Amino acid sequence: MDHFADRLFEAVKEKGSPVCVGIDPVLERLPLSLQKGDAVDGITQFTQGVLHAVAEHVPCVKFQSACFERYHWRGVEAYHRLIHEAKQLGLIVIADAKRGDIGISAAHYAAGCLSDIDLGDGETLLGPDALTINSYLGGDSIEPFIEVAASQGKGLFVLVRTSNPGGDQLQALALAEGGQVVDQVAGMVAKLGESHLGEGGLSLLGSVVGATKVADAARLRAMMPQQIFLVPGFGAQGGSADDVKVCFCADGTGAIITASRSVLYPFDPADENWTQAVAAAALDLNQQIATVLG
Amino acid sequence: MDHFADRLFEAVKEKGSPVCVGIDPVLERLPLSLQKGDAVDGITQFTQGVLHAVAEHVPCVKFQSACFERYHWRGVEAYHRLIHEAKQLGLIVIADAKRGDIGISAAHYAAGCLSDIDLGDGETLLGPDALTINSYLGGDSIEPFIEVAASQGKGLFVLVRTSNPGGDQLQALALAEGGQVVDQVAGMVAKLGESHLGEGGLSLLGSVVGATKVADAARLRAMMPQQIFLVPGFGAQGGSADDVKVCFCADGTGAIITASRSVLYPFDPADENWTQAVAAAALDLNQQIATVLG
């Protein structure tokens, strides 16, 4: 099973959950014991704790690249090594780096962000399974990413409708021909992805659609029947479980619900058994989503 | 002189040129002698050669982050060390990383991409002077970048109108209220930047406006009178010197013309005196722009 979409929904089926835990380690929110020493060591240990706590409960994790790039190349090395560790735990890994550029630069980003890393001496770090990318530069900025992803059996999630209030400023603009900007982006993504389908009928080219934009989600689902929706904004950002239901396809596949803060930081910072709270929060999220999907 | 716009145009005045050399090192295009060994060593030596060749001729260089991220953390370390080296040569440095995210992630990108780096033992690497960012997530995704940039006397360039053909797909959509998507983005950037002006009247928040979009550039110049335009697409991408003239303010400031391939790769790959060809290409570009502005 080499296609990203097939691998992803096989993992969803195995775990019985379409939940993705966002790995967004922020130093000031870590358990106190991990805030004291070197910052990169702290976020590394925290991430390892989270990965081991959630690996048996969820199919998928999403690494927020910014949290690691904050610490320059040491952070970037930790990021790649932790992605490898997550892969070894059997998790599907999405790199949330929101890259966007044109031509050879887009191809460089795709290779750098998705490919396995040869460390020499026969050692290889596994790259992530998918990458988030930005749509503002248009279709020819997305094609180099598709080329790399397709050649490696990997996936992409294009920012279509973001969960933040400011996303409306550009994405919700009304067009002269009818509809909104986001509809044109959705059409572009649907078109670009249609020749890259897995056996389950879903494309390697997915979409980010915020759970806080429920009014748009049903329309976008109809416009992008072959796109996997990566749905942020559930929980801390205000999206409800009912809001996310419309993001799924009729067969119950087609969407991954991602949550970061509500799963990462459910503990008292002084509590040394914080990983138990993280595991419980992941299970609680699973339960909330399962209830909605019925 | 602490404001980015003032520092930039003081450097333009000193060098007598508004040219920015794009540092986009691609292994396959390097002088043959630099293609043979380790890739990161090759692009590092190439970049050092280019920086020394152009530093006395141009005020500004722009580092394409993708070319370094391609090589993961080793590439990222080289990128930061080369930015420091460019700063030591007296160049204004723009980090072309096109980042975009929301909330704490945007703040993390801003800090990671712009700040000086404390290496311990009293050693510090100077960060770049400015960063390119993406606009698709709206104003609240730009504000955290402004906060960091303002606190450090640094600048930002928001992608408004990109130079690639596919940019039209989203940026040129006609709006129900009249105008195009790009006009709304321009208005948003003008508004966000208006309280961050230098002594010369230009904002720390600038715009990327492609030289290949000359029909838009004059309109955008009028809509964003306080924005510095970073203008790619001249030369290799097809923009002419006349096309870029409309990007400047009436006083001859306000725009930086950036070129990568035409300056980086004017040599025969077998030529060992390639840095002379790079310096000559930079001088030639200066001359072309001076003729237009003259």
Q: Which residues 218-237 in chain B show a CB within 8 A of chain A?
A: none
In this predicted structure, what is the pLDDT of residue A233? 79
Tell me whether A117 touches chain B (CB under 8 Å): yes
Give B189's contacts in chain A (Cβ within 8 Å). none
Residue B236 confidence class, pLDDT cut points 50, 70, 90 = low
Confidence grade of residue A269 (pLDDT, cut at 50, 70, 90): very high
| A235: its two tokens | 């929980």
CB-CB: which of A101, A108, A176 is closest to B174?
Answer: A176
Would residue B62 show up in a list of annotated catalytic residues for this protein?
no
Asked whether residue B237 carries a pLDDT value surpassing 70, the answer given is no
Rounded to whole angstroms, the Cα distance separating A13 from A28 reads 35
**Which pLDDT score, from 0 to 100, does residue B68 have?**
98
Query: A137–B167: do the CB atoms touch at under 8 Å?
Result: yes
A-to-B residue pairs, Cβ atoms closer than 8 angstroms: 180
Q: Average model confidence (pLDDT) for chain A? A: 95
- Residue A236 is predicted with a pLDDT of 65
To the nearest whole Å, the CA of B13 is away from the closest chain A CA by 31
Interfacial A residues in 5-64 facing B (CB < 8 Å): 24, 26, 64
Interatomic CA distance for residues A76 and A40, integer angstroms: 10
Q: Which two tokens stand for residue B228?
A: 């510095």
3-class state of residue B114 by DSSP: helix
Average predicted confidence (pLDDT) for chain B: 95
Please give the full DSSP string across B196-249, using - where no structure is assigned.
-B-TTS-BSEEEEE-TT-HHHHHHHHHH-TTPPEEE--BSTTSB-HHHHHTTS-
Set B13, B98, B154, B245: catalytic member: B98
Q: What is the DSSP letter of A268?
A: -
At A146 the pLDDT is 98
With both helix axes pointing from N to C terminus, report the angle between A274-293 and A39-54 in degrees, rounded to the nearest 10: 50
Which residue in this structure is represented by tokens 């239901």? Answer: A245
Residue contact B24–A105, C-beta within 8 A? yes
Q: How near does any CA of chain A get to the CA of B90, in Å?
A: 23
- Torsion angle (degrees, nearest 10) of CA B289, B227, B25, A93: -160
Instruction: Point out the least confidently predicted range of A34-38, A161-165, B149-153, B181-185.
Output: A161-165
Whether residues B98 and A100 touch (CB distance < 8 A) is answered with yes
Q: Which helix (H) or strand (E) holds A264?
A: helix A261-264
Of the residues A13, A36, A62, A98, only one is catalytic, namely A98
Tell me whether B108 touches chain A (CB under 8 Å): yes
Residue to test with chain B: of A119, A136, A143, A265, most B Cβ within 10 A: A136
* Confidence (pLDDT) at B211: 80
A169 touches chain B (CB under 8 A): yes
Contact B123/A at CB under 8 A: no
Rounded CA gap, B189 and B171, in Å?
14
Closest by Cβ to A135, choosing from B102, B136, B175: B136
The pLDDT score that the predictor gives to residue B275 is: 97
Give me the domains of chain B, ranges plus CATH numbers: 4-293 (3.20.20.70)
pLDDT band at B1 (very low <50, low <70, confident <90, very high): low
The count of other CB atoms within 10 Å of the CB of residue A279 is: 20
Instruction: Specify the pLDDT at position A59.
Output: 98
**A211 and A233 in contact (C-beta within 8 Å)?**
yes
Q: Beta strand A130-133 with A155-161: parallel, antiparallel or unpaired? A: parallel
Out of A177-191, A236-250, A258-272, B9-23, least confident range: A236-250
Cβ atoms of B82 and B122 within 8 Å: the answer is no
Q: What is the largest CA-CA distance in chain A?
A: 59
- Cα separation, B88 vs B123, in Å, equals 14
Cβ contact B82:B95 at 8 Å:
no
Strand-pairing partners, residue B132, are: B157
- Asked whether this complex has an ipTM greater than 0.95, the answer is yes
Which amino acid type is present at position A181?
V
Which ranges in A37-138 belong to alpha helices (H)? Answer: 39-54, 65-69, 72-88, 103-114
Q: Tens digits of per-residue pLDDT, A103-132? A: 999 999 999 999 999 999 999 999 999 999
Q: Alpha-carbon distance A37 to A42, whole Å?
A: 7
- Is the torsion defined by CA of B20, B134, A194, A254 positive or negative? positive
- Cβ–Cβ under 8 Å, residues B44 and B30: no
Instruction: Please list every residue in chain B whose beta carbon sits closer than 8 Å to the beta carbon of residue A175.
Output: 173-176
CB A76 within 8 A of CB B76: yes
Contact A187/B at CB under 8 A: no
pLDDT value for B180: 97
- Mean pLDDT, range A267-288, rounded to an integer: 95
CB contact under 8 A, B136 and A138: no
